[in-house]
Amino acid sequence: MVVCVSHFAVVTCFAFCSVTTLIAINVDRYVSVSRPLRYHQVMTPRVVAVMIALSWSVAGVVGVVSLVENSWSPDKPCLYDVISGKATLLLDAVFVAICGVAIVVIYAYMMLVARRHRRCIQPLPPTTTSNGSSQPTELPEELRSIFEALARNLKLA
């Protein structure tokens, strides 16, 4: 009994640690894409340590709960759906689904930010005057404000 139940508790713990670590990685990527100039201010070693500790803590709690809340008896086969109760299976599925939705939402937002950045740095076509010569184009207001903010943050201005 101990081998069967503890095996599934360890597998469950590592599976949930994997999912929560993916969330932590996505949060890190989100900060690096959405706030590139403030990344090192936001993602300090302490914040990273807290994210890792939370990831392992959530996984550990889920592993212990699956160890304590099991319905396995020696006359039953050692299968995950037999060992885990219906409530545990439902909660596991809901947690993984919430994490999956969070990952998709974070990646969708990062795609929007990347698309906006691409539009801002895309080369502008040269404008031509009435005599056919090309004039340098003025930067769009949005791009000019980005460059000014960059210069202020880097203390170049």
In this prediction, residues 10-35 reach a mean pLDDT of 89
Domain 2-122 has CATH 3.10.20.520: no
Question: With left for phi above 0 and alpha for psi between -120 and 50, is residue 40 left, alpha or beta?
Answer: alpha
Q: How confident is the model at residue 135 (pLDDT cuts 50, 70, 90)?
A: low
Average pLDDT score over the chain? 80
Q: How confident is the model at residue 157 (pLDDT cuts 50, 70, 90)?
A: very low
Length of the chain: 157
pLDDT attached to residue 47: 94
Angle at alpha carbon of residue 121, lines to 118 and 124, rounded to 5°: 115
Is pLDDT larger for residue 128 or for residue 52? 52
Q: Model-level pTM greater than 0.85?
A: no
Domain range summary for the chain, segments of one domain joined by + = 2-122, 125-157
pLDDT attached to residue 149: 77
Is pLDDT larger for residue 36 or for residue 24? 24
Determine the angle formed by the axes of helices 86-121 and 141-153, rounding to 10 degrees.
100
